[in-house]
Amino acid sequence: MSDKVLMPKKLSAENGAKYKLIGEFNQHIKVICPACDNDEDKQEDCEVCNYTGEFAFEVPVSWTTIKAIYAKAVALFGEEQQQ
């Protein structure tokens, strides 16, 4: 059994990739709490960050970034087939 698969050279809405991949990947982002600004004195009373000085949230990876990563993978691994 081969460890290779046939895939399109580019991701697009037309080939269904956008529909299938949008929202599949997220990035974990930490930010300093804007309510207490990571100030230890204010932090003691801050309910926004649960007294930690920062909070995290998930941000979806953009479609543009997904396409760029895929294009780079195709460029790198597609060369193996041509040799």
- pLDDT (tens digit per residue) in 33-82: 888 877 777 777 888 888 888 888 899 999 999 999 999 999 988 865 55
Q: What's the confidence (pLDDT) of residue 58?
A: 94
Q: What pTM did the predictor assign?
A: 0.69
Give me the residue spans of the domains in the chain. Answer: 25-82
Alpha-carbon dihedral angle through residues 10, 16, 22, 25, given to the nearest 10 degrees: -60
Span between the terminal Cα atoms of the chain, in Å: 21
- pLDDT (tens digit per residue) in 1-38: 678 888 888 999 999 999 999 999 999 999 988 888 77
Average model confidence (pLDDT) across the chain: 86
The residue type at 63 = W
Q: What's the confidence (pLDDT) of residue 81?
A: 55
